[in-house]
Chains A and B, each alone.
Chain A
């Protein structure tokens, strides 16, 4: 009997080791698949578009990943005044910072009002916004473009225009933040109210300091979105090269322009865009995970 169990135990151990090995193989494979595009992107960005440096081609796509000679030609080119890339980059940083601050303030305010305060029409308002959210965002593009044009916020003024549009309607994205506020016990608010604190005081001196994770999450998500904003940005800045953001610029390099010639330069631009955003994200990953998981469970 005892022998039997031992045998069983040993075989289980073997089984476990085998299954662990399989797991590791799968995980390594997954890692390769997930990392390969990024490794390719980085390596290609160091391949010169100058046939004198990299023989036989001119910055297009080739059949090898590792460049024959490493060079910084692409980076030099896109950071020089031959392109508007530095300007696009600056535009995107400005938009991202303002949108991040504006959206966070907007969402915090809305979430507090909806979570902690009870007023007439509260559920009606939430339902109304939920229904509004079911309309596709691009539907209203021409109307928004026209509204912005009335204020001179298109083409040359596209950057403030984009900031305004991104912030204006962001209050509807309150779900995750409100869910977090809902977990702060009401008793805390009530205790402060008994001490004579006003709602505004409670909001600024208690709720906000307690909500660091969700504030960082909201700001991070808002900061990352403008880097990807191609659709509306290209529509609002149409034909005005200096008002593009990096997404529009890169997309044009690769799709509309002669991408065979700009492929490696696109890669270099992509690396420059990805580095700060990725680093920031990795640095604040903890908060992102918290926000995303919390949001998913509460729905």
Chain B
């Protein structure tokens, strides 16, 4: 890892160095059109007849300057403090001061726009250089029509990706950067914008998360994290093997109505979980039908607290998740079982292998081999499996031993949700979000490099 990083770094710096050198030499050797393009983007292109490109560059620059003057500089100036003017009440009128939320959001947007603009400027310089070289070698530049047509041909990828990338930037990248920044501020109940300011606090929130004494969330975080990982392991592997088992049962030679059995299981996937899981959560409620029936039959003397006993609630969640998870795995395993080369079994049975041995030495290794990446995505998906937990227990049962309103079945993700919605404790929610990311990323990286299908791609080919 470190060796690879070391190897990569000089390459990166060399590339940047080369880039800067190219910008310099282009300016030194370029004609006056190119040189002017360093300040007025698209100028060289326009003068060389590349109207479409030139206008696009020029328009972007005008927009950029307009944005920076109108919006960008105002917010960026307050970025370091996130606002200093408090909202005050003069007599009965509220005089609004700085809005920290807006300042942070627009500052980040502005920074991103500046980075994008620098990138565009670099592109503009290179394009000028290219055009000059083409003209110098006596060739002609492509016509404007050709340039535009290339957006549907050679540059079709740019056409296809532009809108999705803008969408991802605005609705995923920018919000994530924003929330990562929130983790370093004191934005919470007592610092709500626009009436109150919030500001940078460094690593205070992280210290609070890990601190075990006083108001620290350390022990609660440990409990929740432990259960999150335990849950993800149980949910992934129990479902995986049981689903495989059910698929093999149905696939067994001589079993009839294969389609019927499968269809019955698949209904679970088809019915929206909001309906099925909410109904099931009420089945097991203390006044639910199961408790009432058992009471009526006299099997129990008082209602079993399925959802209020911490251990029982966890067991129930894992059991019900089996109900949710088996059908998916059954579908996948069915497809895979059919793909196992039959001659593997034939030669095994010629060698006198019995069913158990065939399962142990052929079926299982094959399935594990091809579903390695799938298992990994299932695992990371289960780390963030919001629906099952939230619809069944909403993270409960709560306890005074746990801080931050966490319950015993809360995953990091449901805890994050509660902090955002119920407690408006945005700063801690952001910190937990970063923790979820770290856990997911570390596990993915480590496991991915251990997967047999990554290590040894050819094993079953």
Binding site for B on A (CB under 8 A): 16, 20, 23-24, 26-27, 30-31, 33-35, 37-38, 40-41, 61-65, 106, 109-110, 112-113, 117, 119, 129, 131-132, 134-144, 146-147, 164-165, 167-172, 198-201, 203, 224, 227-228, 230-231, 235, 246-247, 250-251, 254-255, 259-260, 263, 266-267, 270, 273-274, 277-278, 281-282, 285, 288-289, 292-293, 295-299
Contacts and interface: CB of A to CB of B under 8 A. Distances in A.
Nearest to B296: A63
A20 B279 contact: no
B249 A26 contact: yes
B111 to A, nearest CB: 15
B335 interface: yes
Given A200-B153, A227-B274, 9 more contacts: A134-B444, A138-B416, A169-B167, A199-B153, A251-B391, A255-B394, A281-B266, A289-B331, A289-B334
Contact of B336 (A63, A65, A267, A293): A293
B153 A34 contact: no
A228 B276 CA distance: 11
Contacts of A64: 289, 293
A230 B153 CA distance: 42
Nearest to B288: A61
Interface stretch (B42-50, B171-179, B196-204, B342-350): B171-179
B404 interface: no
Contacts of B292: 61-63
B156 A27 contact: no
B336 A297 contact: yes
A255 B276 CA distance: 14
6 contacts: A31-B264, A131-B441, A135-B433, A171-B161, A274-B270, A285-B263
Interface of B: 101, 105, 149, 152-154, 156-161, 163-165, 167-168, 170-176, 178-179, 246, 249-250, 252, 254-255, 261, 263-276, 278-280, 282-283, 285, 287-289, 292-293, 295-296, 323, 327-328, 331-332, 334-336, 370-374, 376-377, 380, 384, 386-387, 390-391, 394, 412-413, 416-417, 420-421, 426, 429-430, 433, 436-437, 440-441, 444, 453
Contacts of B175: 139-140, 143-144, 147
A228 B273 contact: yes
Contacts of A35: 264, 267
A169 B165 CA distance: 8
Contacts of B384: 136-137
A129 B433 contact: no
Contacts of B273: 228
A113 B272 contact: no
Contacts of A23: 249, 252, 255
B433 A273 contact: no
Given A23-B252, A140-B176, A254-B278, A274 B168 contact: no
B380 A134 contact: yes
B279 A267 contact: yes
A61 B291 CA distance: 11
Contacts of B376: 299
B374 A296 contact: yes
Contacts of A146: 101, 105
B114 to A, nearest CB: 19
Q: Top 4 closest A-B pairs, CB basis?
A: A299-B373, A171-B164, A63-B292, A139-B433
A207 to B, nearest CB: 11
A172 B416 contact: no
A266 B280 CA distance: 12
Contacts of B275: 41, 250, 270, 273-274
Contacts of B280: 37
Contact of A274 (B172, B176, B271, B416): B271
B160 A110 contact: yes
A83 to B, nearest CB: 17
Given A27-B261, A33-B323, A134-B441, A40 B283 contact: yes
A140 B178 contact: yes
A191 to B, nearest CB: 16
A225 B218 CA distance: 35
B252 A119 contact: no
Given A35-B264, A297-B374, A143 B283 contact: no
B282 A254 contact: yes
Contacts of B332: 292-293, 296
A136 B436 contact: yes
Nearest to B161: A113
A279 to B, nearest CB: 8
A143 B389 CA distance: 24
B54 to A, nearest CB: 22
A112 B287 CA distance: 53
Nearest to B424: A142
A250 B274 contact: yes
Contact of A132 (B176, B293, B372, B394): B176
A137 B417 CA distance: 10
A200 B152 contact: yes
B328 to A, nearest CB: 7
A251 B274 contact: yes
Contacts of A169: 167-168, 171-172
A106 B164 CA distance: 7
